[in-house]
A and B are shown apart, each in its own frame.
Chain A
Amino acid sequence: MTKKDVFLIIQSALCVLIAVLLSAAAIRIYLEGSAWQAAGHPSEWIYTREKAAAAIAPVIPLILISAAVTIAGLIMGIKDENKDKPVMDEEFNKMAAENRDFNKAGPEKAKKRITIRRILYAVAICFVVMGIFNGSMRDVLVKAIKICTECVGLG
């Protein structure tokens, strides 16, 4: 195992650890808070800014270390060398061989595509105009300015 491999493994471990700790913190806050609510305190909040800050605080040093390691890795040019190498397994070899035929358009096929595209453009423009008149454009506006809290994952 080279030094580079060790570096990559340490960085992976840091990333996984950060994600696990943050997930665990969120789940812990939720479980404790909902147990407290169920115990006869329905108006108590499950999450508070203070609880969230206290849960994130121990993870911040890890995030900073991970950021520093990332910057160092980028400056030193450390990366998984395999990530930019072409995939050579059998399935992809077969696909690669078919690639040229797939993209062979020919004048007839190309003309057909242009015609279909033009027809669909006309249909799409008709849809937009119909939408402006049937109120679906207003739907988009109203739903984008009056946000339903469930839809953005708040609650």
Chain B
Amino acid sequence: MSLATSKAVAHAFDVEAVRAEFPGLHQEVHGSPLVYLENAATTQKPRAVIAAVERFYLRDTSNIHRGVHTLAERATATYEGARRTVARFLGAAAPEEVVFTRGTTEAINLVARSFVRPRLAPGDEVLVTWMEHHANIVPWQIVCGEAGATLRALPIDDRGVLDLDALDRALERGGERVRLVALGHISNALGTVNPVREVARRAHARGVPVLVDGAQAVPHMPVDVAALGCDFYAFSSHKVFGPSGIGVLWGRPEHLVGMPPMLGGGDMIRSVSFEGTTYADPPNRFEAGTPNIEGAAGLAAALDFLAGLDREAVRVHEEALVAHAAEELGRIPGVTLVGTAPERAAIVSFTVRGIHPHDVGTMLDGRGIAIRAGHHCAQPVMQRFGLPATARASFALYNTHGEVEALAAAVRHAQGVFGV
């Protein structure tokens, strides 16, 4: 990209205009303007999302699929319309490839329970990486434990980069016993962007399917499941500016069609008698009970909001924020950045010598700055770096360079108070 083009893109992204769409950002905390750097945990909501949820409650409240009255038709149209929006957003071939779940965690559990578990025999293996969130570890541990199979973690280096040679070795050594590779698109603890397309290529060369935990990626980069070449892709609405309590599992139709349901109930059947039940086709087979209809409406509004922005300009803006934060924090004596992979996004994890991460978090909160302190639900990667916890600043499209400077100033202030 030429300098002129790059400037044009930077100019095209008006962060103040974006911030104006997020009412939650405009408040004071402990007398200071809120600086919200907790976006890897959850995101603030734009007006469009709030309005979509409100519209459902004010006008369209009804159950879906079975009613013949007008409100039921509207609710069904809202819900199934959201499925089409998600399919379009992910580059899925058809809306039927999109299963609504409660979130990323349930999506991964569904694949563990209904896709992997029936295939697992004693001695089989599931591969993950050392940098996974607990949501992409524990479901595999559960089914591996039941089947007498083994969960193997692929190593990462000191920067937080996945060792692809170790993947090759594990695939070769495991052979046909490897039933799945599961990895995060972006590490929630380190910010590493994993080469999922390359992982999928290598795994597929040996006939092994790949699940991608996209919870941290969807808000930050365009995702095209066809281009990635994965078999399953999971994400949560609330991390991409939508409501909590709903998420998505995208799956290849040839996988979904063979999967048994995880939950039984209404809306997932074709016919029921006491002699037996015939299940509905995907995706309904996996959506027993009344779903989160207003959540789907909000999620669709969030994805439309994001799609209406210049995503390349968003990416450039966020990349600049992360680089700025790494530079500002990195030059403070006593601050160590954790996770320095060349391909990183949205997340800066760090420690401050002489101040426990929880004290860093409390001190920053005193100046209105929200960050996360702890193990980030990724204890193995903390163990890998020999740390009980880190402080983590995580960015979204509405953050500013002024906020990065406030973060660095607050860390210096904490050092002053603690005398370190």
Q: Are both chains from one complex?
A: no
